[in-house]
Amino acid sequence: MGRILRFLANPGSRPDVSQRAPLIGSTDEAIAQYKTPFDGVQAINSDSDESSVGELGDVEVKKEGCIITSHGFTGLQKGLSDRLLDRVVLFAGSQIVFFLMWVIIIIWIVIGIVYNAPENWQVVMQDGQSLQSYIWDTLLMRQQLISAHDHVNVCAILRSRLRTFKRLCKSYNPTHTKEEEGDDTVESRTYCVESVPADIKGCLPVEGWYDRLSSFAGKIIGSLSFMIIFWTGIFVWIGCGALPLDAGNEPPYTGRLSGSNPELKKFSDRWQLYINTATAVVLLVCTMFLQNIRARHEKFITKGLAAVFDIDQEIEQYLRAETGDVTTPNDVVTIHTKKRSIGEKGIDWYADIIGTGIGIFIAAAAIGTWLGIGHLMDWNSDWWLIIGTYTGLIGFLDGFVLRQVYFRIVSHEQENYDTVAQEDLELFQSLGIHCPDELIVDHESNVKKTIPFKISLFINNVCSSQWSVLGSIIIIVALIAIASGLHWSTTGQLIANTPTMIIEAFFMIVLIQAHTWADQRRRIDVSSLFARRCILRSHVKGKRQ
């Protein structure tokens, strides 16, 4: 059974994470500088980017803005296929892919203008987007699972080093200045804090027009106003389908698909085709934009973590040199996985099927089967719609699963950063260091709970429930039953396809909003963590203003 699970990448497993910060020794130059006798002690060197080695798994926080781990989120060591898929995820979030998407959309629009938007032109966009979204669900799921797993490992390493700081600081008291005030002696503990960011509010640093445009677009797409505009457009479309017909002036949305009954009627196939095309464009933009903006934000945050790791290693090296303890290893810190319900375990199992190579194989098999039956159906319009219907139903479920899993892993990630902050404060208190109020992060009190925010939060919470995933499955079964009753005709497939694409597009908007909130919190955590480390470094080195 174990071999089978390993072959299937151990789906659904969420083992505890254990990490030990690497031992940071002292070089000969550092020993001489700090004038601490180390007779018979071998100096230990460590790569500043390494975080952990051995059976606990390797973790590297790169200054270029990426985190590399040897073990995946299911606890298994990454093989060649995992590493290749990780590279594909990185490439999918690159600017090249994002710009390529816009080139494809522009070419498609131009062709539609030249050929007066024929039906095949719309079907090509729908099928192309359905295939793209089907594959991108795998990349988005893997992207968020990898990110959460990486940050849990990082938090474990940070806490491992904090324990060493507490232990070493007990036997090391930095020298402070004394100020005489009358007969009282006052110990001055105002320290020089170098390189503390001037703004810890979490604003995204921008470097050029691309970053500015992407950040602005992310806020717009993930806003409540955009959600209202989206649903307003949907209701307008529904109203257009119910308009009375005028035989002398046929509205374009009431025509039938080519080859079908030309009789005019309300809520026609062509009317459904139009909204499918519109939502296909929305889905194409949102999925690729979400992949891109996640990658950019993750790179920014990881660069901040790399700076924190550098200061941590500097502090550890200094303390070990001063105390003469250069061989005692750092403690192992274990972060236990959160307790999950049966439903959440099932969701995680499905999420891992999507986010591993298994999902790619299933997608390839489905697409290959669709291509293989093309000649049997004479490549007709029903055949063209089959792949869109299949990927639409699967993508509909994937949208619910993506949001529900993201909600849980971000909550777990936030708890771990809160724990690191709490242990920082405990260390500060034990050393008598005053921590500025702005570096004690309380995300709940920092949020302005306006009416739009409360509405958005309610929508996010509803979409994040495991019951919403169950509801999506029930809807899929109902749509399949309706399409089967219509013998999977063009009308039946459009009925199965239209509502799923609309809701899937909405879920992508909700997911972008959720990411914007989570990223804002994370950059506040990291910038505050960096500032606290600067204060701690100033303290242990006894620097004075």
Handedness of CA 309, 314, 319, 324 (dihedral sign): positive
CA 438 – CA 441 distance, rounded (Å)? 7
Beta pairing, strands 184-187 & 178-181:
antiparallel
pTM: 0.81
Ranges of residues in the chain whose predicted pLDDT is under 50: 1, 3, 7, 27-54, 176-206, 245-263, 543-545
CA 449 – CA 413 distance, rounded (Å)? 22
Indicate whether 3 belongs to any domain: no
pLDDT at res. 173: 63
Handedness of CA 536, 28, 47, 150 (dihedral sign): negative
CA 169 – CA 211 distance, rounded (Å)? 42
The total domain count for the chain is: 1
Alpha-carbon distances of 286 from 155, 312, 504, rounded to whole Å: 30, 38, 10
Two structure tokens written together for 18: 């254990």
Indicate whether 257 belongs to any domain: no
CA angle 256, 259, 265 (to 5 degrees): 20
Model confidence over 64-78: pLDDT tens digits? 888 999 888 888 888
pLDDT at res. 187: 41
Q: 228 Cβ partners below 8 Å, 6+ apart? A: none
pLDDT at res. 367: 85
Q: Tell me the chain's radius of gyration from C-alpha atoms.
A: 28
pLDDT at res. 184: 41
Count of helix runs (H) and strand runs (E) in the chain? 15, 7
Indicate whether 117 belongs to any domain: yes
pLDDT at res. 226: 92
pLDDT at res. 6: 54
Alpha-carbon distances of 180 from 119, 184, 192, 225, 247, rounded to whole Å: 87, 6, 21, 60, 98
pLDDT at res. 5: 53
Indicate whether 165 belongs to any domain: no
CB atoms within 10 A of CB 174: 18
- Phi (first) and psi of residue 544, to 5 degrees: -130, 150
What is the residue range of 388's domain?
52-143+186-230+269-304+341-540
pLDDT at res. 444: 67
CA 114 – CA 392 distance, rounded (Å)? 28
Indicate whether 419 belongs to any domain: yes
Q: Is 25 helix (H, G, I), strand (E, B) or coil?
A: coil
pLDDT at res. 419: 94
